[in-house]
Amino acid sequence: MANQATTILVLLGPPGAGKGTQARMLEEQFGFVQLSTGDMLRAAVAAKTPAGLAGKQAMDSGNLVSDDIVLGILNHRMSQSDTTVGVMLDGFPRTAAQAKVLDDLLASNGRRLSRVINLMVDDAAMVDRVSGRFTCAGCGEGYHDRFKQPSVHGRCDKCSGESFKRRADDNAETVQQRLSEYHAETAPLIRHYDQMGILCKVDAMQPIEEVNQRLNLMIASL
């Protein structure tokens, strides 16, 4: 793991909380690198790597991928030089074991997490958010059927691409399982980081821009 990163943020939150949406905005605003274990795993599945093949079944059913696969993928990515400006971990850690590995790795480099941001969303909103999500097939910009449409119908605001896609695991049944996994495995981390004194809670039921303003203020004060 690289040890020069000045700012290391974790974005915690259930499926559909807005982790990816906010990470992409903060990437542009602060130059931090978004490290999404979900995106890395989807890329591994698409490339049919051993990690992707091993993780696919868990992802398709809404379960967590095993810690060893996730840690292998993340470690590889964290060792790349573009992570030195600052890093936003999106969707990692998700289990107590992953949190411990992260804490230990950072401590062994004389570093610690800058902040853990808990994006708080009502369970009822998540199915709506996730089932309405679509992304630009070209640049990955995220949209939503109701909450964030491209300014020009059918054309990506960012790259003008005209092809969009939806995730295979964004269906009601899988979302419920992802939500169960979140409550069982990931939500307990909120207390862990609160006890470390680095937790920042953000009301993510607010509109995207308002959540972003709140995050900007928090990061500017670091």
Binding region for ligand AP5 (CB under 6 A): 13, 15-21, 37-38, 41, 58-59, 62-65, 70, 91-92, 94, 98, 129-130, 132-133, 142-144, 147-148, 178, 204, 206-208, 211
Residue 166 among the catalytic residues? yes
Residue 100 among the catalytic residues? no
Distance CA(187)–CA(200), nearest Å, equals 14
| Cβ burial, residue 48 (10 Å; 0-12/13-18/19+) | exposed
CB of 4 to ligand AP5, least distance (A): 23
CB of 183 to ligand AP5, least distance (A): 12
Residue 201 among the catalytic residues? no
Selected catalytic residue, list 42, 94, 115, 129: 94
Residue nearest to ligand AP5 (CB): 38
Secondary structure (3-state) at 169: coil
CB of 80 to ligand AP5, least distance (A): 18
- The answer to whether the CB of 133 falls within 8 A of the CB of 166 is yes
Token pair of 96, please?
A: 């107590």
- Angle at which helix 67-78 crosses helix 50-61, to 10 degrees, equals 120
Residue 19 among the catalytic residues? yes
| Residues belonging to the active site | 19, 94, 133, 166, 178
